[in-house]
Amino acid sequence: MRTLISGGTVVTAADTFVADVLVEGETIVALGHGLQGDTTIDATGMYVVPGGIDVHTHLDMPFGGTTASDDFFTGHRAAACGGTTMHIDFVIQPKGASLREAIDMWHAKANGKAAVDYGFHVAITDLTEAVLQEIPDCVELGVTSLKVFLAYKGALQIDDTTLFRTLQQGARHGLLTMVHCENGDAIDILVREALAAGHTAPVYHALTRPPQLEAEATSRAVRLAEVAGAPLYIVHLTEAGALDAVRGARGRGNQFIHAETCVQYFFFTRDDLARPGFEGAKYVCSPPFREPSDQQALWGGVADGTLEVVSTDHCAFWYEGGRDGRSRGKELGLGDFSKIPNGCPGIEDRMMLMYTHGVGRGRISLNRWVELCCTNPARLFGCYPRKGVIAPGADADIVLWDPTARHVLAAATQHQNTDYNLYEGMEVVGVPRTVLLRGRVVVDDRRWVGEAGTGQFIKRGTQPAVR
Ligand code: URP
Ligand code: ZN
Ligand code: ZN
């Protein structure tokens, strides 16, 4: 079965050109003019872009005394409706479990539900000698990135010994180490002090996680990665000091230091956590939202290449959970900000927001948008050129992007499994109209037509050696 996508403008990270795209089965087989297919999808007036790849998500994750509300079906449907056809989720090693057991647990969560393609990183929380020896085996399983948290003391946080040994072992075997950079020990003290002083409102989440503690942890991770000669990926970078730490490493010639930000950090500030009543809880995530000057710094970072990826850290919770069949949500933190589950939804919104506020406002080019949201994620995480590009031989993960269509982001119309949308009422210009996953239409004229069980686990490749 050959499908011709005709009359559109193909956009890649490098080029923009008018061409038809011929798909055979699950694969792109040709780009050009005068091609023939068995069926045709008219892409006149559309950009034809690679499916988005979101490398930072938490679906069905136990966290903060509850479980994230989007699972591997609802989260996938939302992703596809937002133009994202692959994501990489974090397997979290339960303390005492092997990495293999943890990865198997996450496969069980996705099996039968997956509706877009997906991969896994594995987060190490308990680095025993046996776990250290297991790291190379992850490559065989197609899990080629590790993660550690320098925050969440008493839960996910690891120490510098674990960080350094993970970096070393990862580097020896071609795995990329990803790090959540905040100083969890200092945060823990500030949180205790705030609560003792009777400061319980959501805004204290931000006030007890100041930017200096992100800058410090980022510099530490960067310097340790340099000593270990290890590829490093800083997740959800939010502020100017951390950006300087990454720029410093690149300035020293260390091209193996990578960093992402997440879309929400361009839009919200600490003031959003101080919204009236308990509304601020919707905006509680870690690291927290910063200052307008940091937002400007982040736009600078994506424009100059310091930040190579924009992901979401999609980790949805209900605002009013714990009833009507909902898992517990943000209400867990009524009366104590430290009990608000950390995380925000966004897997559906990312591509539209970056197009509207990045491309539409002249902050980034059309090609840079594709590079940040589709191509660099594939390159950095070992699945390029199978994913992240419109080219012969690539999987036919294709989005027909309507650059002039308007859409208002809202909880009532979203597919994300939660009762709020961070961007409620915000209009975007530019939406995914048709989405193909390996040649199969999963979104047709903005309507979900996909199916649970059709998403595939993607085994990913390793990193180039640093030295
Ligand atoms: O608040 C956040 N970011 N929740 C998800 C876990 C993490 O730190 O990425
Ligand atoms: Zn994190
Ligand atoms: Zn995260």
Three-state SS annotation for the chain: CEEEEECCEEECCCCEEECEEEEECCEEEEEECCCCCCEEEECCCCEEEECEEEEEECCCCEECCEECCCCCCHHHHHHHHCCEEEEEEEEECCCCCCHHHHHHHHHHHHCCCCCCEEEEEEECCCCCHHHHHHHHHHHHCCCCEEEEECCCCCCCECCHHHHHHHHHHHHHHCCEEEEECCCHHHHHHHHHHHHHCCCCCCHHHHHCCCHHHHHHHHHHHHHHHHHHCCCEEECCCCCHHHHHHHHHHHHCCCCCEEEEEEHHHHCCEHHHHCCCCCHHHHHCCCCCCECHHHHHHHHHHHHHCCCCEEECCECCCCCCCCCCCCCCCHHHHCCCHHHCCCCECCCCCHHHHHHHHHHCCCCCCHHHHHHHHHHHHHHHCCCCCCCCCCCCCCECCEEEEEEEEEEECCCCCCCCCCCCCCCCCCEEEEEEEEEEECCEEEEECCEECCCCCCCCECCCCCCCCCC
The span from the CA of 189 to the CA of 370, in Å, is 41
How many angstroms separate the Cα of 164 from the Cα of each of 230, 252, 340?
9, 20, 30
315 lines ligand 1 (CB under 6 A): yes
* Cα 21 to averaged position of ligand 1 atoms, centre (Å): 38
Angle at CA of residue 133, ends 93 and 55, nearest 5°: 45
CB–CB of 315/232 below 8 Å? no
The residues pairing with 291 across neighbouring beta strands, listed in sequence order, are none
CB neighbours of 186 closer than 8 A, spacing ≥ 6?
213, 216
* Cα 178 to averaged position of ligand 2 atoms, centre (Å): 10
* Cα 286 to averaged position of ligand 2 atoms, centre (Å): 6
pLDDT of residue 134: 98
Among 462, 466, 458, which Cα is nearest to 51's?
458
End-to-end CA distance of the chain: 46
Q: pLDDT tens digits, residue range 336-389?
A: 999 999 999 999 999 999 999 999 999 999 999 999 999 999 999 999 999 999
9 lines ligand 1 (CB under 6 A): no
343 lines ligand 1 (CB under 6 A): yes
285 lines ligand 1 (CB under 6 A): yes
Residue to probe by mutation, ligand 1, list 205, 268, 286, 314, most atoms within 8 Å of CB: 286
CA of 288, nearest ligand number? 1
The mean pLDDT value for 105-111 works out to: 98
Q: Which numbered atom of ligand 1 lies nearest the CA of 58?
A: 5
The span from the CA of 301 to the CA of 246, in Å, is 10
The span from the CA of 23 to the CA of 5, in Å, is 8
342 lines ligand 1 (CB under 6 A): yes
* Cα 77 to averaged position of ligand 2 atoms, centre (Å): 23
CB neighbours of 279 closer than 8 A, spacing ≥ 6?
none
* Cα 149 to averaged position of ligand 2 atoms, centre (Å): 7
* Cα 246 to averaged position of ligand 3 atoms, centre (Å): 19
Closest residue by CA, ligand 1 atom 2: 343
* Cα 277 to averaged position of ligand 2 atoms, centre (Å): 26
Closest residue by CA, ligand 1 atom 5: 343
pLDDT of residue 171: 98
Q: Which numbered atom of ligand 1 lies nearest the CA of 90?
A: 9
314 lines ligand 1 (CB under 6 A): no
Q: Is the pTM of this model over 0.95?
A: yes
Q: Which numbered atom of ligand 1 lies nearest the CA of 152?
A: 8
CB–CB of 431/401 below 8 Å? yes
Domains and CATH numbers, the chain: 2-49+388-448 (2.30.40.10), 51-367 (3.20.20.140)
pLDDT at 467 > cutoff 90:
no
How many angstroms separate the Cα of 466 from the Cα of each of 193, 233, 258?
42, 13, 13
Burial of 362 from C-beta contacts in 10 A (0-12 / 13-18 / 19+): exposed
CB–CB of 260/310 below 8 Å? yes
pLDDT of residue 330: 98
CA of 63, nearest ligand number? 1
CA of 55, nearest ligand number? 3
Q: pLDDT category, 273, cuts 50, 70, 90?
A: very high
How many angstroms separate the Cα of 142 from the Cα of each of 137, 149, 382?
9, 22, 9
* Cα 236 to averaged position of ligand 1 atoms, centre (Å): 9
Residue 17 tokens read as 């050109």
pLDDT at 448 > cutoff 90:
yes
CB–CB of 395/27 below 8 Å? yes
Q: pLDDT tens digits, residue range 63-88?
A: 999 999 999 999 999 999 999 999 99
398-408 and 427-437: which strand pairing? antiparallel
pLDDT at 435 > cutoff 90:
yes
| Percentage of residues in the chain having pLDDT higher than 70 | 100
pLDDT at 173 > cutoff 90:
yes
Among 446, 349, 432, which Cα is nearest to 75's?
349
CA of 155, nearest ligand number? 1
Q: pLDDT tens digits, residue range 114-157?
A: 999 999 999 999 999 999 999 999 999 999 999 999 999 999 99
Q: pLDDT tens digits, residue range 227-272?
A: 999 999 999 999 999 999 999 999 999 999 999 999 999 999 999 9
The span from the CA of 150 to the CA of 162, in Å, is 10
The mean of the pLDDT values for the chain is 98
* Cα 315 to averaged position of ligand 1 atoms, centre (Å): 7
pLDDT of residue 396: 99
76 lines ligand 1 (CB under 6 A): no
Closest residue by CA, ligand 1 atom 4: 343
147 lines ligand 1 (CB under 6 A): no
Closest residue by CA, ligand 1 atom 3: 286
